[in-house]
Structure 1
């Protein structure tokens, strides 16, 4: 490498080192257990498999203090260019997150409001102050805000959403989950938010079919005039309606996304 130009030294080994999570020319020393890993995700996966649950832990990315060059094996403080061999340890480098990645096609950027690096290009995202996270620009002024909406686990796979590597989506109710989990939920004909139970798609056509089915289905005499109290998951209204085996319709918003409540709760 001594005969190489400065630029050749910087680019030496690009995309040739790393792990399944990132292509990078360095490893990190975990500040919590002082072991060496290719990245924080490799550390967290290994720590999650420890037999003793009290030993399981995750790296705080900002706490990383030492990195090891993958080319010359020199351990050093967090910097972009190796102080020994001059290799660029990450084409993308964030000093705040202690983050390196050679695959710049991901269009990484650091969001000061989120406090972490994200992928996809800064021009394609905006930060929602109320939700406390970055969303695609298609959701600007086009989503229901829920305070700290990403500061929870995906209700399907239970992975923490805020710094998840997977794409997320915002449902009509404002709650968030992984796109792949949302699509899987739709495949199984589950159309209610797992968190608040509100309908996540336009159900008016389905409600109309249920109207028709109820009209065509006559209840037995002993149930024909039975009434029940229901709570509507879509509008949170409570009301007393006639019981039907097909479903109970909310008289306020016409939704069948309802449930009977025992004992009855009087509307306020």
Structure 2
């Protein structure tokens, strides 16, 4: 598919340039004699010939586009183009995995990520596992498989799933994480935890203190779903330092890019970066 696209880009006609040339040619003809205009109709630049030639070129372009669309449909990528070329389509995801869905060839992927999350639970550094891939390749499904794994369920005292989508707003994400952490508290503690002005605040310092309060030293797993590559700087500079300051040893993060898995350890150093590409 990549070869055919490259071939089309290098060989496809340029209708825009042809139209521009024709406009300049006609402008240059203003003031010419009637005989020259008549002569122009039987030359290669005749408007009739121009329209005929352009219709053939445009038809060729449309045929190439049709071929590409058919290839995309074959690979199940029909929704990816809109996602990449337009503003990110807002959507929400959840952590629930349809047990009736048959997932082929993904067990090894899941086991690898689960092993990374559980093996070095007491190490004092942060490990990041970005899982990159185009839209529609099953990154969210893989994250759900890890999130709902029995060993993961047993290992982490707190699990949080947040869908970022096209709103990578640090304050909004912190508030969502706090609210989800409060939901995990015992019923008699929830009302007290929700008191205070943190929910209406735009102060990051206040929100971080609230986050420390509700998470404490719990070993937690945080999933940030649908994080886009261009948001990496905001993640590195703003959100990661805040999240690294809370929780106990072995706390982790699974972040899906268009997915990062990060292990937050006690002294908050960034360790080796690992990467999974779909």
Classify the TM-score, shorter chain.
Answer: under 0.3
TM-score, normalized by length of structure 1? Answer: 0.28
Q: Computing the radius of gyration over CA atoms, which structure comes out larger, 1 or 2?
A: 2
Which of the two has greater strand per residue?
A: 1
Which of the two has greater helix per residue?
A: 2
TM-score, normalized by length of structure 2? Answer: 0.27
